Structure formats: C-alpha cells, structure tokens
Structure 1
C-alpha cells in the first residue's frame, strides 16, 4: 500500500473515530437528559394529581375522565395513590394499568421516600407524600413517546452526519495526502533521470526548511559525494592503465626484440635485466594499488587492535633498510616510553607500517644523504610523529596536490615512483581518525607531521 493511501486511511480512521466518539457522547448525553427530565415530569404530574384530589377535593371520577380523554391523544401519566395502610384511594385506570404496584414497590417507597425505575421503556417514580399529617404513597408511570421519538431522530441525524463526514474526510484526506506527497513524487521523477553518466543532475530542494526539503538537500549532498567518487574512480582507472601500459609496453618490446633474431648472450642478459626491472616495477605498482584499495575499506571492515606506535616504527624502519641498504633511518623517541598507553593507538599494524614505510622511503629518496629523521612524542590524547628530511623540498604550488593519487610533481626526475604513496598514507591516517600535514622549503627539506589518537581517546 502506498504512503498516500496509508495517510488517507489513517487520517480518515483517526478523525472518524473522534467523530464516532463525539456522536456517542452526544446521543448518551441526550438520552440521560431525556430520562432525567421525564422523571421530573412524572413527579410534577404525581403532585398535581394528589393536590387536585386532596386539596381541591376534585372527585376521582372527573380525574379519571380527564386521564382517559388525554390518553386518546397522547400517552398520559398513569397515577396511583395509596394511603399509609396500602389501601388504593385513587387510580387513573385500574383496568388498563400497565405498571402494577406490588407490596415490595410500596415498601420501597415508604422506606426510601422516593424511587425511580424503568419497566419495558415505561418510566416509573414512587413518592412518599404528606398531607395534613397523613402520609400517602404515590406512583406515576408513563411512556415518553415524544422523548423516544426525538432520540430516534437524533440517532438517525448523527448516523447520516457521520457517514457523510467520513466520506468527506476520506476525499479531503486523499487530497491533502496527494498534495503533501507531491514534492516526493516530483523528487522521484527527477531521481529517475539520474544515472552514472548524469551524476551532475540535482533534485529541487524547494525552500529546504521542511522535512522533504532537508531530504532533498541530503540526497543532493550524497550525489555530490558520489559524483566526486565516480570521478575519482575514473581518474584512478585512467592512471592505473597509464602506469601499467609503460612497463607492459617495455616488456613486450624487449621480448619481441629477443624473438626477432639471435642475440648475443650479453644483449640477451641486458634485455632480460630490463624486462625484470619492468616486471618488478609492475609488481611494486600492483602492491601499491592493493594497499591503496585496502586503505579505502570501511573502518568497520578492518581488523583493529591496540598497536604500539614505537614498535610499528621500528618494524617499518627495518623493512625500508632491508630493501634499501643505503637508506638511513634515525628514530628519536621524545615520548615517555614507560607510559605504554600514551604511544598506543587503536589501529591496524599492517596499514600503519605501510604508511610509515612510504614516508621513510620518500624522505630518503629525495634527500642527497638518503636519511630520514623521525621523532615520536605524545601530547594529551594524541601521538605525534614527524618525518624530516634535508632533501630537495616541495614548492608551495605542489603542496596542495601531493596527496592526489598518481600525482607527481617536479621531483619526478629526481627519483622514480608511482605517485600513490602519499595518497595511501593520507587514507591510512584518516582511517585511524588522525591528521597529516606537510611543510616544506625548497632545497632545505620537508616535514610530514602526523597526529594519531591514542587508546585513551580512541576507546573513550
């Protein structure tokens, strides 16, 4: 069932329920009022009859004649009067008596002084009346035909009004539900036009202040992120294809050259060495791309645990120096190593090792002395790391681009690389809820500064 139908039915049911409750209360109140008013009428009629009989000394036959004539026109009140000894001294019409007075009824009147009850829709009152020190028991009964007729008319009016109101509420609710959901229908139509090739399209947000406007704004923000992500993926695929094409072309050329004709052993070895170098470059590039993809995982999908930064630094330093014996890594521990929690982060040791290794290799590659100076300390709830070199530096124009995947600046002629390392480092640091910044002076050196929250903050 659509939201529009659900809203319409819900509105009709709730409002109709209120109207039904209101109608029941009106009918119940009218019924109670009719009952009370008719009891008062019966009591007045009873007092009138006994006053006519005892005070004015009007004879009983005349009173009975009046009752019988009025009864032909409308339901007259039927009155019976008894003395204290339970002797009947007056009755409007004994032969057509509808409510029979019983000893129990007369006893109840004498004991309570006043009774009221309903018998087959006839209302009955009993009154204890005193006249010239004599007590009399009076009963008055009648059928309120006019009152019941008014109640029946009221019930029919309420039912007709309720049915009419429910129909009107249904169509009104349907109209307003369609009106309220019209922006959603328009958003749906606009969203259907959006595809992978049309991510630049946006949904109209109206004034942006109501819930639907906020939904449209949120959806547009998601589209912006998707557009950037798709564009980044396109660029990524383009750069991957470009970077892989060069070594692949070189390998193919070397192999074709070897197959064209016989070569000397020296030429063959030189060609194989070139092929091996290109293959190693491809392997390194593939490894970097794999690490870059891992760093793009959702934080919840990566295995995190308590990791000591100083131990990760030493492992990364050992790996870099094993692969590059001429690289020198100088690690200076400014932090209090006895406070283990201060230099322990909630993270992934493998990814952190990759990040630190990339920063160390960059520092050594672009420094004439192939040396990287590292300091580790802590401040409050953060572990602070600084990777310094005395290399060629980075220009201010290039600083804004160095974390872009596959970007290589003017220093690409100084040392080889794939342009993935720093982008990978940034992703890993962000995954660990940290920050990375860089400062550099041309021909003097570069400093990469990292802040990682220790376990006191991460677990808090």
Structure 2
C-alpha cells in the first residue's frame, strides 16, 4: 500500500474518531440537559399543585384535578401524589378509580433525604420525591411523568448526528485523499526523475525549483549532491582501473616481448639467465603492485575492531626502521622526541593494529629513501592530550602546489619520481590508515626547503568504520 493511501486512511480514521467523539459529547450534553430540565419542570409542577391545593381547600379535589390537567401545562402520563405528615394521601392527580402504588419505605427515604429523583427502569418515567413544608404543614410529594417531547427530540438528534457524521466523514476522507494527492505530487515527480537516472547518465540531475523552499526541494538538492559524489566515485573508479591496467600491462608486455625474443633466438646460457633475471625483476614489480592493490583494497573499508591493546608508537617506529634498513642498508634515520616527559609509559600509547601503523611508517621511510639524495630522513615524534604527531623530513626536490593537490590520489606520481620504481599507491594507503585512526597525512615544505610529511593519530579513537572511494 502506498504511503499516500495509508496517510489518507489514517487521516480519515482520525477525522472520523474526532467527529464521533464531538457528536457523542453533544449527545451526552443534550441528554443531561433534557433530563435536568424535565426534572425541574416536574418539580415545579408538583410544588405548584401543592400550593394550589392549600390555597383552594374549599374546592373539591375532583375539580382541582380537572384544573390541574387543563390549566397547568400537564406533562405526558403525569402522576402527582401528595401525602400529609401521617403518610395519608391527600391528593392524587389521577381519579380515585386507579389504585395508587407506593411504599412506606420510599416515603421514609424521601423524608430522610428531603429530595430524590430517578428514572424508572421499567417504563423510563422520570420520578421525583419532595419533602416540603407549606403554611405550617409537612407534606411528601411523589411525582412522575414521561418526557415524550424531550425524548423524541433526543432521538431526532441521534439521527441528525449520525447523518452529519457520515456525511462529514465522507467529505473529510475525499478531501484528505485529494490533499494527499496534491501533497505527494512533487514526490511522485521526484521519483519519476530519479528512475530515469542510471549509471550511464549520472550527470543528469533532478530538476529543482529554487523558489520552493520546502522538504522536497531539500531532498532533491541532497539527491543531486549524492549523484555528483557517485559520478565522481565512478570516474575515480574508472581512473583506478585504467591506471591499474596500465601498471600491470607495461611489465606484462615487456615480459611477453622478452620471452618471445628468447624463444625465437638461440641464446647462450648466460643470455638466458639475463632474460630470466629481467623476467624476475618484472615479476617482482607485478607482485609489489598486486600487494599494494590488496592493501589499498583492505584500507578502502576498515571495520572497527574493539579490544585492541595499547601499542607504543615509538616502539613500532623503531621496529619499522630496523626492517627498512634491512631492505635499504644505505638508509640513515635519526629520531628525535619533542616531549620533555619521556618517562611517562603512556606517552605515545595508541590502541591500534600494529601492522597498519607499521605500514604507514614503512611507506614514509621508503619514500624518503627513494627521493632523498643522501637517503637520510629525520623523524620527530610529538604528542598532546588528543593527538600523536610523527614528522618525516627529508631532502630532495620539493613538490609544486599543483602536485600537492594530487599527492594522495592513487597512482599519482610527481615529477621527481620519474626515475624511481613505484606505482603511486603508498601515500594514498598511508592517508587512509591515518584517517581510520582519526588523523591525517599532510605534506608541507619546511623552512629549510625540505620535504616534510606530518602523520597524526588520535588518542581518542580506537578505530571507526571508514570508507573512501578508490
């Protein structure tokens, strides 16, 4: 069931409920008013009859009964009984041929409470009992009547309210549905425009009316922004595939060419060894590229891992330096600690995956070894209450502002890397790992015109779900 239909039904149900509650209130209020008004009329009629009986004692009761029935606005099925203080019947509004039924218990109850009123459950007659005193005499009056006119009005009110409720509910339901149709029309248009957008035309944006400042317009703006991000992600993914294919195709093509030449020629053993050495070198390059791609894929979506034990960043750094020197014996690394309180065991503690932090440091050290003429890198460690900072400073040609803008883009290689073997993935991997730990990698040119990379990690974040497009 569509949302607009559900909301229309909900609106109709709520409107019907409110209408019925209001009508019920009107009916109950009128029913109470009718009952109270009729009891008042009956009370006045009973008291006036007593006064007339006392003031005209010389008149025969039969004549008084006739006067009461013809001149005092008789009520439907009216019955009035007047008793003296001895409970002797002194007046009855019906003739003496009709038996008068009452109980002593009822008369005593009236004398005790002074006034009672109730509705007979059998015949629905309103009945009252009054204890009163007039001209020095005590009297008990019983009166009953049937509110024929009032009950007919009440019944007519029920019919009128039911008809009005039905008509009102129908009108409300139709009006609500029409209103929902108009309210959801922009959403239907937006849905139609969204369905027309596929992966082939992500540049096609949803039309937006700037003059309308409502939630639908905000949704359309948000959707267009998402389309732009998706389009950029698709372009980035295509560029990634294109660069990866190029990086793989070059060594593979070179290997195929060397292998074909070796097969087509009669080479000596030394020449075959030379060809195999070239093939091994190309295979190493492919293996390095595949490992980098796997690591890049791993860091594309890192899941939060709880319960990691704290690791000291300086210990990881020294272990990584030993590995880097083992690979590049000419690498020279100096480490300097900027904080003064080096006795604190929690100074550089970070809850982290040790292998990820080591990967960052290894990439930084290898970059310095590649691009620094003297293969020397200075490392500075610093920290504060929230962050850990690692500075990697090395000589060599610095980057231009244009190159700095693409520094963390996969497969980007600056002009100073033309003579170096690599694929341009290291800094992108480092930046993703640093961002996973609430930090970043930043490049700058130091005051001494040297390359300076700042790597930061947050002490407050143990790791969070992080995703970035390749």
> Same fold judged by TM-score > 0.5?
yes
2:198 match: 195
Alignment of 1:301-316 (within 5 A): 305-316=309-320
Give the RMSD, CA atoms, in angstroms: 2.7
TM value normalised by structure 1 = 0.92
- What is the alpha-carbon distance in structure 1 between the residues aligned to residue 442 and residue 403 of structure 2? 14
Question: Secondary structure of the equivalent of 1:404?
Answer: coil
Question: Secondary structure of the equivalent of 2:346?
Answer: helix
Instruction: Identify which range, 334-343 or 115-124, moves more after superposition.
Output: 334-343
1:366 match: 371
1:410 match: 415
1:150 match: 153
Instruction: Identify which range, 262-271 or 304-313, moves more after superposition.
Output: 304-313
Alignment of 1:259-278 (within 5 A): 259-278=263-282
2:35 match: 35
Tell me if 1:210 matches 2:214: yes
Aligned equivalent of 1:399, options 401, 404, 411 = 404
1:378 match: 383
1:60, distance to aligned residue in structure 2 (A)? 1.3
1:179 match: 182
Tell me if 1:255 matches 2:259: yes
Q: Which runs of 5+ in 1 are unaligned?
A: none
Aligned equivalent of 1:244, options 245, 248, 252 = 248
Tell me if 1:435 matches 2:440: yes
- What is the alpha-carbon distance in structure 2 between the residues aligned to residue 99 and residue 347 of structure 1? 101
Cα contact 1:53–1:59 (8 A) shared by 2? no
Cα contact 2:371–2:417 (8 A) shared by 1? no
Tell me if 1:340 matches 2:341: no
Alignment of 1:322-341 (within 5 A): 322-335=326-339, 336-341=341-346
Question: Secondary structure of the equivalent of 2:9?
Answer: helix
Alignment of 1:34-53 (within 5 A): 34-53=34-53
Deviations 1:429-451 (A, max 9, x none): 11111022112379953111122
Question: Secondary structure of the equivalent of 2:391?
Answer: strand
Deviations 1:223-272 (A, max 9, x none): 23222221111110000000000000011111111111321112111111
Deviations 1:336-364 (A, max 9, x none): 44323231223322122112111111111
Instruction: Identify which range, 109-118 or 236-245, moves more after superposition.
Output: 109-118
1:307, distance to aligned residue in structure 2 (A)? 2.5
Instruction: Identify which range, 178-187 or 133-142, moves more after superposition.
Output: 178-187
Cα contact 1:366–1:414 (8 A) shared by 2? no
Instruction: Identify which range, 9-18 or 159-168, moves more after superposition.
Output: 9-18
Distance 1:94 1:205, change over 3 A: farther
Cα contact 1:391–1:443 (8 A) shared by 2? no
Cα contact 1:337–1:343 (8 A) shared by 2? no
Aligned equivalent of 1:295, options 272, 296, 299 = 299
1:392, distance to aligned residue in structure 2 (A)? 2.2
- What is the alpha-carbon distance in structure 1 between the residues aligned to residue 158 and residue 96 of structure 2? 36
Instruction: Identify which range, 63-72 or 188-197, moves more after superposition.
Output: 63-72
Question: How many pairs are equivalent?
Answer: 459
Question: Secondary structure of the equivalent of 2:167?
Answer: helix
Deviations 1:268-311 (A, max 9, x none): 11111111111100001111111111111134269955232112
Aligned equivalent of 2:355, options 350, 373, 380 = 350
- What is the alpha-carbon distance in structure 2 between the residues aligned to residue 204 and residue 298 of structure 1? 36
Cα contact 1:302–1:348 (8 A) shared by 2? no
Distance 1:98 1:149, change over 3 A: farther
2:112 match: 111
- What is the alpha-carbon distance in structure 2 between the residues aligned to residue 142 and residue 6 of structure 1? 52
Cα contact 1:341–1:455 (8 A) shared by 2? no
Instruction: Identify which range, 315-324 or 356-365, moves more after superposition.
Output: 315-324
Question: Secondary structure of the equivalent of 1:300?
Answer: coil
Question: Secondary structure of the equivalent of 2:396?
Answer: coil
Question: Secondary structure of the equivalent of 1:65?
Answer: helix
Distance 1:72 1:337, change over 3 A: closer
- What is the alpha-carbon distance in structure 2 between the residues aligned to residue 234 and residue 272 of structure 1? 34
Cα contact 2:386–2:458 (8 A) shared by 1? yes
Tell me if 1:165 matches 2:165: no
1:76, distance to aligned residue in structure 2 (A)? 5.1
Instruction: Identify which range, 332-341 or 43-52, moves more after superposition.
Output: 332-341
